[in-house]
Amino acid sequence: MAEPSVSGTSIPRLDGPAKVMGRAKYALDLDIPGAAHGVAVRADRAHARIIGVDASKAEALPGVIAVVTAASVAPIDVRFGHISRDHPALAVDKVRYAGEPVALVVAETRRAAEKAARLVRVTYEDLPAVIDAEDALADGAPLLHEVHPGRTGDEGFHNTGADALEGNLCAANLIEWGDLEAELAAADVVVEGEYRYPMLYGYAMEPYNATALFEEGTLTVYTTAQHPYMVRDDLARMFALPLARVRVVVPYVGGGYGTKSYTKVEPLAALGAYATGRPVRVALSVEEAIFTTRSDGAVIRARSAFKSDGTLLARDFDIVMNSGAYSDNSPLVCAKLAARAFGPYRLNALRVRCRSAFTNTTPASSLRGFGAPQGNLAGELQMDEAADRLGIDARELRLLNVVRPGEEILPGKRGIDADLAADLELLTESLGWGEREGVGFGLAASDAGAHPTSTALVRIHGDGSASCAIGATELGQGSRTVLSQILADGLGLPFEKVSIVQSDTGVVAYERTTGASRTTTLVGRSLLAACDDARRRIRELAAEYAADVQDAPGGVVADGEHLSYGAVIRKWFGSGGEVVGVGAIRRHGEFEKLPPFWEIGASGVAVSVDEETGRVVVEQLTTVGDVGFAINPLLVHGQDLGAATMTLGAALSEELVYDGTTLSNPNVVEYRVPRVSDMPAKIDQILAERRDGIGPFGAKGGGEGAGNTIGAAVAAAVGRLLGRYPRELPLTPERVWRLAQEAAPDRETEAVRG
C-alpha cells in the first residue's frame, strides 16, 4: 500500500461541530415516540431470599402501566451474560447484592415510575452475606450461586478458567513455567509483599440507559453499549429470537472506558417493552450505575526473585479478585490480570494463580486496562523495591531484564512488537530521573486486541465518494475520525469524500467488541481489506472495457486513461449503481498468533508530598505513546492523557468503600474522580512511532496503556519520598500520613547511620 496521506495527520474530529454545538445525540437524548419509562425497584440488602413482591400500591398510582418481575414475564428466562449466563435482569428467588433490580415499574412518565417504584414492597428473608473476596473463598462462606453457573461456550472466552469452579469461585487462572522453587532457592534477593487495588467506578458521565421496542417481530434497542453485537447476542438468547430479529443501535456514547462493555441495562428495557407492548426507556442515575457495574478490586501477594547482579529469576503471584455477585466480564479480567501482573521481563520461572470470587457486591467487570493496573501495581512496585535492596538504579534494573523486540513474554504467544527499552529511556529522561526527587515510572505490556474477529463494509458510490459501515462504537476515542482517515487512504480519496456509519447491528458489518484498544488496529485492517475488495471489484468492472487496468488513487488507470471510481461505476451500470467491498479478519494467517498486538504502557510521574497532611500533588506526568504509527497524533495524545488521568484517580482518591454490607459512597460526591485542579503543572506527551504494529501502516492500539503503570508509578514516587513504599491504593491523605508516620523511625535511623 502507498504511504498514507490522510492518516498520520491530526485531522479535526468529525464529531466536533455536533459536540460543541450540543447537537450530538446520545441514547439519552433520542426522542422515541410513545416511549414509556421504566424504573427499577432495587434490593435494599446484600443477600436475601425474596418472599414476596407487593406491587398493588404502585400499580394503583396514576400513569403506571405495569410492574414487571421475573415471574411476570415467564417463560422468558431473564438471565443474561456473555461468559456465564448467570445474571438475572430481574432477581429470581433471591437477591445477591444491595442495589440489584427486583422489579421494573413502567409508567407514562419517569416521575410516575420513580414514585411508584418507591411504593413496591418486597419482603425478604435475609441470608448471611459475604463482602470480602477472601472470606468468600473460605470454607463455609455463604454461597451466592447454589448451582454454579456454567459457561456460554463462546470460543472467544475459552481462556476464562472454567474448569473446577465451585463454591464462590467465579473464575480461576494459572500461568506457570519453569522451576519456581529452584529459582527462589538460587536467588540472592527475594522481594515479597501484599498489594491492594481498590474497587472502582468508571464514571462514564452518561449513565447507562436504553430504550427498547418490539416492532415487526424485531426487538430494537437504542443504548449506550460499547459492544452492540455482544448485546444483540444476549438479547437474542433471552427472547429466543434469531440474531436477525434483534437490532441494537448505539448513537454517541457519553464515555465508555470498558464500563459499557457487554450487556447492562438493555434487558431491563427489553423486558419492559415485552411486558407492556410499548417502547420502554430505562435511564439510570449515577447511583444506579454504580449498582450496575464496578471494576474488580484485587489483593495480590507477590514474590520476585533476583540475583545480586539484578537478573530477575522468577516471580510468583497469588491474586484474589473481588468480582461481585455475577460473572459479567470478570472471568476475562481474571485471565488478563494473570497475564498482566508479571510484566515484560525475562523470567526463568513464573507462577501466577489468579482467582475471581463472587461476593454480595455490585457485579464487577472491565475498566480501562482491565486487569493491568491491578497487576502492574504489584509487579512494578516490586521492581522498585528490588532495585533499592539490590543497590541498582530502578531504571537500569528494568533495562537489564526487559524483553527486546520480538522476544516472548508468554510462551507460544506473539513476541513483543515494541522497543520497551527505548520507551523507558524516553520516559525517564522526560521525568528527570536521577536528577530530582519523587519520581516514579513503570512499564507494562498488555495482551490486547481481544479475539481478532472484525468485518467491514465499504461502499463506493456513483460519484466516486465512499462510505463504510462499521460495528465499532464511537466512545469519544475518535474512531469515527480515525477510521475515516484509514478509509480515505485505503481508497486514495480525500477526507472530504468519505463518510462512516457505525454501531447499528441492523445496518453495519459485524464487530465483536469495541474494547481492548482494538479498533484502530483490527477494524482498521478489516476496513483496509474491504477497501481492497472494493478496488478489486472496480478493477473487474473496468476490465470489461479495457485490456490493462491498474489501481490509482481514487480510481484506476485503464489503458492509460485515469478513470475515477465514479466513472467506472457509471459506465458499468449505465445509470446509478455502486460497488460494495467487504473485508474480514479472523484468527488466521498473520492474526493466528495471539494477542494481535501488545499494548505498551510507559508512563510516569513526579510528585510532592505534604507529610503533615498526607496530601500528594502530582507535579509532572509523562506518557510515552508507543502506538507504532499515530493515525491521528492529537487523538492519541488525548487517549493517553485520558487514560493516565483515570488511573491518577485510582492512585489518589477513587475507591468504592463498603461499610459492612452497605456501599458508603454510591455517588460522585463521596467518590472523588480527578478534577481540573488535580492535573499536574507539567504534562509531557511523547509519541514513539516505530511502525512495528500489525495495524494499518504499522499502527497498534492505545488508549489503555498510558494508564496501566500510573498506579505503581505514583506509589513508587511517594515511596521514594517517604522512604517506604505504599502497597495499597488509593493514596488518600490519611494513608500517606500513616505511611509517613511508619517510615519516620526508619528514616531517623538512616539519618543517624548516614
- Minimal CA–CA distance to 472: which of 516, 527, 523? 523
Which of 18, 74, 138, 205 touches ligand FES by CB under 6 A?
Answer: 205
CA-atom Rg of the chain in angstroms: 27
Pairing between β-strand 294-295 and β-strand 364-365 as defined by DSSP bridges: parallel
Residue ranges in 584-603 that form contacts with another protein under rule CB under 8 A: none
Among 63, 156, 193, 255, binds ligand FES (CB under 6 A): 255
Q: Which does 12 bind (CB under 5 to 8 A by kind): ligand FES, another protein, none?
A: another protein
Smallest separation, CB 421 to another protein (Å): 27
Tell me if 641 contacts another protein by CB under 8 A: yes
C-alpha cell at 288: 444506579
Closest C-alpha to 568, from 459, 457, 496, 461: 461
Per CB under 8 A, does 62 bind another protein? no
- Residue 34: burial class (beta carbons within 10 Å; 0-12, 13-18, 19+): exposed
Q: Residue 595 or residue 707: which is nearer to another protein going by CB?
A: 707
Which helix (H) or strand (E) element contains residue 662? strand 662-663
Q: Which is nearer to ligand FES, 20 or 580 (CB)?
A: 20
Assigned C-alpha cell, 2: 502507498
670 binds another protein (CB under 8 A): yes
Residue 71 interacts with ligand FES (CB under 6 A)? no
Q: In 10 A of CB 377, how many CB atoms?
A: 34
Instruction: Tell me which of 369, 478, 601, 696 binds another protein, using CB under 8 A.
Output: 478
* Binding flag, residue 63, another protein (CB under 8 A): no
27 touches another protein (CB under 8 A): no
Closest listed residue to residue 622, CA positions, set 698, 689, 714: 714
Specify the stretch interacting with another protein by CB under 8 A; choose among 306-314, 325-333, 599-607, 645-653: 645-653
- Is 204 a binding residue for another protein by CB under 8 A? The answer is yes
Question: Which residues, in sequence order, are bridge partners of residue 298?
Answer: 197, 321
Name the residue nearer to ligand FES (CB basis): 477 or 503.
Answer: 477
Closest residue to ligand FES, based on beta-carbon distance:
205
* Closer Cβ to another protein, 39 or 487, answer by number: 39
Q: Which residues contact 733 (CB under 8 A, 6 or more apart)?
A: 613, 614, 615, 616
Whether residue 443 contacts residue 402, with contact meaning beta carbons closer than 8 Å, is answered with yes
Q: Is residue 648 classed exposed, middle or buried when 0-12, 13-18 and 19+ CB atoms within 10 A define those classes?
A: buried
669's contact among ligand FES, another protein, none, with CB below 5 to 8 A by partner kind, is another protein
Least CB distance from residue 267 to another protein, whole Å? 19
Which of the choices ligand FES, another protein, none does residue 236 contact, using the CB cut-off of 5 to 8 A by kind? none
> Is 660 one of the binding residues for another protein (CB under 8 A)?
no
Half-sphere exposure of residue 394: CA atoms within 13 angstroms, side-chain side: 23
123's contact among ligand FES, another protein, none, with CB below 5 to 8 A by partner kind, is none
Cell of 287: 447511583
Q: Which residues of 211-245 are buried (b: 16+ CB within 10 A; e: fewer)?
A: bbbbeeeebbbbbbbbbbbbbbbbbbbbbebeeeb
Judged by CB under 8 A, the stretch of 8-16, 442-450, 591-599, 694-702 that binds another protein is 8-16
Work out which of 459, 461, 570, 672 binds another protein, going by CB under 8 A.
672
24 binds, among another protein, ligand FES, none (CB under 5 to 8 A by kind): another protein
Which residue, 152 or 665, is less far from another protein as judged by CB?
665
Q: How far apart are CA 515 and CA 156, in angstroms?
A: 14
Residue 670 interaction partner, one of ligand FES, another protein, none, beta carbon < 5-8 Å per kind: another protein
Identity of the residue, 348 or 499, whose beta carbon is nearer to another protein in the bound complex: 499
Cβ closest to another protein, residue 550 vs residue 664: 664
- Residue 74, class by beta-carbon neighbours within 10 Å (0-12 exposed, 13-18 middle, 19+ buried)? exposed
Binding to another protein (CB under 8 A): which residues in 68-97?
A: none
Burial class, 728, CB count within 10 angstroms (exposed 0-12 / middle 13-18 / buried 19+): middle
Q: Counting beta carbons within 10 angstroms of the beta carbon of residue 114, is it exposed (0 to 12), middle (13 to 18) or buried (19 or more)?
A: middle
Indicate the DSSP class of residue 571: H
367 or 403: CB nearest another protein:
367
Q: Does position 476 bind ligand FES by CB under 6 A?
A: yes
Shortest distance, position 632 Cβ to ligand FES, whole Å: 16
Cα–Cα distances in angstroms (integers) from residue 253 to residues 23, 218, 227, 375, 435, in the given order = 13, 23, 11, 29, 43
> What whole-number distance in Å separates Cα of residue 381 and Cα of residue 440?
10
On whether the CB atoms of residues 366 and 372 are closer than 8 A, the answer is no
What mask of x and - would describe binding to another protein in positions 94 to 123, judged by CB under 8 A? ----------------xx--xx--x-----
Interface with another protein in residues 381-410 (CB under 8 A): none
The interface partner of residue 28, options being ligand FES, another protein, none and the CB cut-off 5 to 8 Å by kind, is: another protein
Tell me which of 225, 444, 673, 731 binds another protein, using CB under 8 A. 673
Count of residues touching ligand FES (by CB under 6 A): 3
Min dist CB 711 to another protein, Å, is 16
Give the binding site for ligand FES (CB under 6 A): 205, 255, 476
